[in-house]
Structure 1
Amino acid sequence: MAELLPIRSVPPEVARGVSLVEFVRFWNQRQNLGLPALHREILAWLEQSWLDGKRELLLLVFRDAGKSTLVGLFAAWLLLRDPGLRILVLAAEQALARKMVRNVKRIIERHPLTISLRPMRRDQWAADQFTVQRAKEWRDPSMLARGLNGNITGCRADIVLCDDVEVPATCETPAKREELRARLAEIDYVLVPEGTQLYIGTPHSYYSIYALEPRREINEDAPFLAGFQRLVLPVLDEQGESRWPERFPRERLEVIRRRTGPARFAAQMLLQPTSAENGRLDPNMIAGYRDDLKVEVLSGERLCIEIGGRRMVSASCWWDPSFGSPRKGDGSVIAAVFADGEGGYWLHRIEWLQQDPRDPTDAATQLCRQAAQFAKALYLPAIRLETNGLGKFLPGLLRRALAEAECGTGVIECTSRKAKAVRILEAFDTVLAAGALKAHDSVAQTPFFSEMREWRPGRQGRSSLGRDDGLDAVAGCLLSEPVRLGMLPSRPGRPNWRLGGETHVAASDFEP
């Protein structure tokens, strides 16, 4: 590449035609910095995307790669080409957004090619916003900084730069992730037609806004940034070599991996959407299956139930009742786990029961009727009802609902004496380690797997982060003794499917 000409020999109209790479290289030379191949690749992508008219862009680059600095230079280059542009910077916090604006302001002040952009009035040169010399009279400044919680109503922008809007503080819980998506949806009311959105960051959650695949368990039909042009540059390339070996040799990467842990390294350096913290319960250790119950009448009242060609010998059902909605308070979750004769567990169904406020029937009866239909559909011999708190008022109502449903299912009242986190660990640790738990595909449509990824055991047996209602219900199933035929009588006319427990009259050859 030829040496840049002295700035005094570059007329303003020629300066506006300088490529982005040359613009940055000229700046770096004055800062005694080089231009690594990684940065040239990013700059070439940004410039070509802009020239090609691509207006929805996502730049994912590993931590400490200088991506925000490069995007700041990109913003200054855009203002050099068109001083009439209005750029809005959104970040997780106002301070982060101001940092980006301050960086661009400093570039315009000191870069020889942008001297003509400096305004005449000092009031147009603030820390969180500035306006360059331009022919157009806009109400909005050339560049404006806003945190996600800041007010952007009434703003208009040609370009919105979303710089690290996803950080732990904005994505560590389902409520925060929902709020993040809602705030980012406001961009559509700020951006002018044919305006540009550019996201820059790294994933901090399995449910990241940057995820390439939709997360069905949070009701995503498409990725949040579906249709965006992506440049994804993890620290290791396709051959497993460092993309910036001068700054990140393999030895340093191994040190970072050891110090931060594999989960955080995968998220921040390899750009794999996963929780930045190591979770205790790994959903990837649960195999999925699609098979439904296969019910076959053998003889008399005996049934044979199979899943995936395996005969089931027992089943457990646990219901931890609650009147809270799934979004507020505890969820009312009922789960059913079948067991085969080889020590395998099959999580076949889990449901979050909800009351309908429009139904004149009282909430408790509504929930009991839903639980009864759940048990009837799966031929469950009994429902274990947790009677801590609310549950102590429900056994009678539940028995009446089961009788109305004519399903012959019994009710076993249970009281939990151990802390919830302790029960969850005792139930899942060994089963997951042995690979003995499978889950029906319908389970993936519920919050269950999300709870597994988010759950952290806290102190004194409490959960430190995330919901655990579904985990608690399945843990109750796994810890329950299998309910077999002999424990509760079946209702007349209700076929049995479990082994053993029938009445048998033996022949004898003596007189009483």
Structure 2
Amino acid sequence: MKASFAEFYVLWDEYLGRETPLFHIETCEWMENLSDEVDNLLMLPRGHNKSGIVTVFNAWRFYRDADDLVLHQGATNIDALKCSRAVVRILANHPLCKLNNVKKSHGGVIKWWVEGSNDEQYGSMYARGILSSVTGQRAKHIQNDDVEVQKNVATEENREKLKHSLTEQTHILVPGGTSLFIGTPHSYESIYKEMIEAGANCFIRRMFEHEYRIEGRREAVLNFYPEYVFSGIHKYSKCLEENKHYTIEKHGNGYKVTLLDDYSFVDFYAKALWPERFTKQEMTKRRKKCRTINEWDSQYQLHAKPIGDVRLDPDKLIPYDCEPTLKYANGVALMMLGNVRIASASLRVDPSEGKKDSDISSVALILHDEQGRMYWHRSISLKGEVGPTDESGHNIIGGQVYQLVQLIKEFYITRVTVETNGVGGFFPSVLKSCLKQQGVRCGVTEIKETKNKNLRILGAIEGPLNSGVLWAHVSVLYDPDKPEDDSFEVRIMRSWNPAVTNQIDDPLDSLAGAISDEPIRIGKSHNKNDYKESVNWRTNGGVYEATVDFD
């Protein structure tokens, strides 16, 4: 009778002279019964030996079945080969492998065979990076060990490449085979988050089982007793002590914590996963090493966040859900958004012509009120031909300009700005023809942007966003097909990186243009008493009296 994986793992720990924590045994028991119906996901915090467990798991699989076929994919070829070498070492030294003559027979590091394997083509173990081609391979078990790293998910394009490689594995896994993902999230659009939502078989253990965060306040009521309390992050991080930095008192079934000083934010934690190894002193050191709170949250608490800060945080957009209406008072037309009067509107179009990476024209509509607030009311992707005509070739019957004219008519837009970088005047010319055919009075301004795109996006959006004057309609914020999910625009904002030149940013480019097309307004005050002349405290040359005599 063969040993279970937990027994096999404990024997290896004993061989190495180290103790086995309880959660490692729980992990082994879970891994021994992987599902062959859905993906399997193992998530443990950084430093908790995820990859180490996986290498022993591979050795155990070969110990159980010499005809097993394992495809191991890491973030890079180098990462994958580390696992391959480690498995060979375990087979050569594990007591049970020695006893049963389970060892590497022949092959290199990328592909090798176990003694007794009947396979002659695919290799008992095949190790490659996730972006390497493995077409033509076959496997009974596929592993993706930390394939989601910052480099692989930095942009929307990189994320799509990663997902394409993972999709290819569908055709490699033999019927009845199993797939295992191991890692920590590095993005809001984490593949692990998608797997959880899709119903994957998951084993997830965070650094701390209980967590609670407060920002800008001194009191918190918790349903657990806080064992670890941290303020700030990176060089501003501090491990707070009870009765020195905060007090705790019983509050019903929970605990009331009162801070004795002001902090930007404070995290409360309890029930550490591996307290013997990750002591309070060790976690304090690691907290200071993390440059952003997102890095801490994603790598230790396993929340789907990017490691770096989000420069254009969509959570700062103020949502609203109402449509502008046209009213008349004393013979004057007024556009109202709820009870707010709209002073102007800006409509910016970034055409798809001339773009090698996109076939979508991005449109942003911004409404501006008299107090300087901006309302991102529509973000639309125009698809299809620019302006297809009927058989006569004179009448435009659809296409992008036709869609745009309907938007202009719906919101009574009087001017639209079209970015013409590299495309000449084709789109604006067709748009003017369509406006004329439909009898719509609307000016068309052509503009050629010369400033760096990322600087342009950052300069236009960051100020209003951080100042709390940029609002967004719910149609911009949420996916119309899945109202509980973020929209395409929100996902782009979260992942946008000003240091990356080639990334999907069309909605942000058109938004930046629409914001820049109108001057920034400052609210007017009609109370003259508000304006008081300041005391003139500056020095002067004194007062002199002179007599002059002009003829």
Normalising by structure 1, we get a TM-score of 0.77
- Specify which of 120, 126, 129 is matched with residue 147 of structure 1: 129
Report how far residue 288 of structure 1 moved.
Answer: 2.9
Summarize the Cα distance change of 1:75–1:402 in structure 2 as closer, same or farther, 3 Å threshold.
same
| Residue 351, structure 1, aligned to residue 380, structure 2 | yes
Report how far residue 207 of structure 1 moved.
Answer: 1.8
- Specify which of 50, 53, 61 is matched with residue 70 of structure 1: 53
Give the Cα–Cα distance (whole angstroms) in 1 for the partners of residues 336 and 152 of structure 2.
Answer: 45
Give the Cα–Cα distance (whole angstroms) in 1 for the partners of residues 101 and 358 of structure 2.
Answer: 55
| Residue 470, structure 1, aligned to residue 507, structure 2 | yes
Report how far residue 388 of structure 1 moved.
Answer: 5.0
Answer yes or no: is the 8 Å Cα contact 1:324–1:332 preserved in 2.
no
- Specify which of 337, 343, 350 is matched with residue 366 of structure 2: 337
Report how far residue 57 of structure 1 moved.
Answer: 0.7
1:337 counterpart letter in structure 2? I
Q: Aligned runs of 1:101-116 on 2, under 5 Å?
A: 101-116=84-99
Give the Cα–Cα distance (whole angstroms) in 1 for the partners of residues 414 and 156 of structure 2.
Answer: 35
Give the Cα–Cα distance (whole angstroms) in 1 for the partners of residues 109 and 456 of structure 2.
Answer: 53
Report how far residue 119 of structure 1 moved.
Answer: 6.0
Report how far residue 342 of structure 1 moved.
Answer: 4.2
- Specify which of 449, 457, 460 is matched with residue 498 of structure 2: 457
Match of 1:131, SS?
Answer: strand
Match of 1:275, SS?
Answer: coil
Deviations, residues 50-78 of structure 1 (Å, cap 9, x unaligned): 4x766631011222221011011122223
Report the equivalent of 2:24: 39
Deviations, residues 7-35 of structure 1 (Å, cap 9, x unaligned): xxxxxx3xx1x332222111111111111
- Specify which of 231, 248, 260 is matched with residue 290 of structure 2: 260
- Specify which of 159, 166, 184 is matched with residue 184 of structure 1: 166
Deviating more after overlay: 300-309 vs 201-210: 300-309
Report the equivalent of 2:531: none
Answer yes or no: is the 8 Å Cα contact 1:117–1:132 preserved in 2.
no
Report the equivalent of 1:230: 202
Q: Which runs of 5+ in 1 are unaligned?
A: 1-12, 213-222, 485-512
Answer yes or no: is the 8 Å Cα contact 1:118–1:132 preserved in 2.
no
Match of 1:196, SS?
Answer: strand
Report the equivalent of 2:83: 100
Give the Cα–Cα distance (whole angstroms) in 2 for the partners of residues 479 and 154 of structure 1.
Answer: 52
Summarize the Cα distance change of 1:270–1:483 in structure 2 as closer, same or farther, 3 Å threshold.
closer
Give the Cα–Cα distance (whole angstroms) in 2 for the partners of residues 224 and 352 of structure 1.
Answer: 30
Report how far residue 202 of structure 1 moved.
Answer: 1.4
Report the equivalent of 1:390: 423
Match of 2:423, SS?
Answer: helix
Report how far residue 41 of structure 1 moved.
Answer: 3.0
Deviations, residues 233-261 of structure 1 (Å, cap 9, x unaligned): 22222252332223323343343333332
Deviations, residues 266-308 of structure 1 (Å, cap 9, x unaligned): 22222222222223211111133343x2535546986554445
Q: Which runs of 5+ in 2 are unaligned?
A: 212-268, 480-486, 522-551
Q: Aligned runs of 1:371-386 on 2, under 5 Å?
A: 371-386=404-419
2:297 counterpart letter in structure 1? A
Report how far residue 350 of structure 1 moved.
Answer: 1.7
Give the Cα–Cα distance (whole angstroms) in 2 for the partners of residues 450 and 58 of structure 1.
Answer: 23
Answer yes or no: is the 8 Å Cα contact 1:314–1:482 preserved in 2.
no
Answer yes or no: is the 8 Å Cα contact 1:376–1:405 preserved in 2.
no
Q: Aligned runs of 1:312-327 on 2, under 5 Å?
A: 312-324=342-354
Q: Aligned runs of 1:415-494 on 2, under 5 Å?
A: 416=449, 418-444=451-477, 445=479, 447-458=488-499, 464=501, 466-481=503-518
Deviating more after overlay: 439-448 vs 102-111: 439-448
Report the equivalent of 1:281: 312
Q: Aligned runs of 1:81-96 on 2, under 5 Å?
A: 81-96=64-79
Answer yes or no: is the 8 Å Cα contact 2:141–2:177 preserved in 1.
yes
Report the equivalent of 1:495: none
Report how far residue 225 of structure 1 moved.
Answer: 7.1
Report the equivalent of 1:497: none
- Specify which of 432, 439, 444 is matched with residue 399 of structure 1: 432
Summarize the Cα distance change of 1:75–1:389 in structure 2 as closer, same or farther, 3 Å threshold.
closer
Higher-helix-fraction structure: 1
Report how far residue 347 of structure 1 moved.
Answer: 0.7
Give the Cα–Cα distance (whole angstroms) in 2 for the partners of residues 224 and 350 of structure 1.
Answer: 29
Normalising by structure 2, we get a TM-score of 0.72
2:494 counterpart letter in structure 1? R
Give the Cα–Cα distance (whole angstroms) in 2 for the partners of residues 144 and 173 of structure 1.
Answer: 28
Give the Cα–Cα distance (whole angstroms) in 2 for the partners of residues 332 and 296 of structure 1.
Answer: 28
Give the Cα–Cα distance (whole angstroms) in 2 for the partners of residues 56 and 417 of structure 1.
Answer: 47
Summarize the Cα distance change of 1:158–1:393 in structure 2 as closer, same or farther, 3 Å threshold.
closer
Deviating more after overlay: 175-184 vs 340-349: 340-349
Report how far residue 482 of structure 1 moved.
Answer: 6.4
Give the Cα–Cα distance (whole angstroms) in 1 for the partners of residues 66 and 76 of structure 2.
Answer: 27
What percentage of aligned pairs have identical amino acids?
A: 32
Give the Cα–Cα distance (whole angstroms) in 1 for the partners of residues 386 and 421 of structure 2.
Answer: 24
Match of 1:211, SS?
Answer: helix
Q: Aligned runs of 1:42-53 on 2, under 5 Å?
A: 42-47=27-32, 49-50=33-34
Summarize the Cα distance change of 1:225–1:169 in structure 2 as closer, same or farther, 3 Å threshold.
farther
Match of 2:163, SS?
Answer: helix
2:357 counterpart letter in structure 1? K
Summarize the Cα distance change of 1:202–1:316 in structure 2 as closer, same or farther, 3 Å threshold.
same
1:209 counterpart letter in structure 2? I
Deviating more after overlay: 59-68 vs 236-245: 236-245
Answer yes or no: is the 8 Å Cα contact 1:92–1:148 preserved in 2.
yes
Summarize the Cα distance change of 1:99–1:340 in structure 2 as closer, same or farther, 3 Å threshold.
same
Report how far residue 355 of structure 1 moved.
Answer: 4.0
Report how far residue 391 of structure 1 moved.
Answer: 5.4
Deviations, residues 351-382 of structure 1 (Å, cap 9, x unaligned): 2333439957799x954444323322222121
| Residue 166, structure 1, aligned to residue 148, structure 2 | yes
Deviating more after overlay: 330-339 vs 173-182: 330-339
Answer yes or no: is the 8 Å Cα contact 1:58–1:231 preserved in 2.
yes
Report how far residue 228 of structure 1 moved.
Answer: 1.1
Give the Cα–Cα distance (whole angstroms) in 1 for the partners of residues 333 and 310 of structure 2.
Answer: 40
Give the Cα–Cα distance (whole angstroms) in 2 for the partners of residues 332 and 68 of structure 1.
Answer: 44
Equivalent pairs counted in the alignment come to: 449
Give the Cα–Cα distance (whole angstroms) in 2 for the partners of residues 332 and 126 of structure 1.
Answer: 51
1:77 counterpart letter in structure 2? W
Give the Cα–Cα distance (whole angstroms) in 1 for the partners of residues 197 and 177 of structure 2.
Answer: 16
- Specify which of 60, 77, 83 is matched with residue 43 of structure 2: 60
Match of 1:408, SS?
Answer: coil
| Residue 210, structure 1, aligned to residue 251, structure 2 | no
Answer yes or no: is the 8 Å Cα contact 2:146–2:183 preserved in 1.
yes
Q: Aligned runs of 1:299-314 on 2, under 5 Å?
A: 304-308=334-338, 310-314=340-344
Report how far residue 111 of structure 1 moved.
Answer: 0.6
Answer yes or no: is the 8 Å Cα contact 1:21–1:40 preserved in 2.
yes
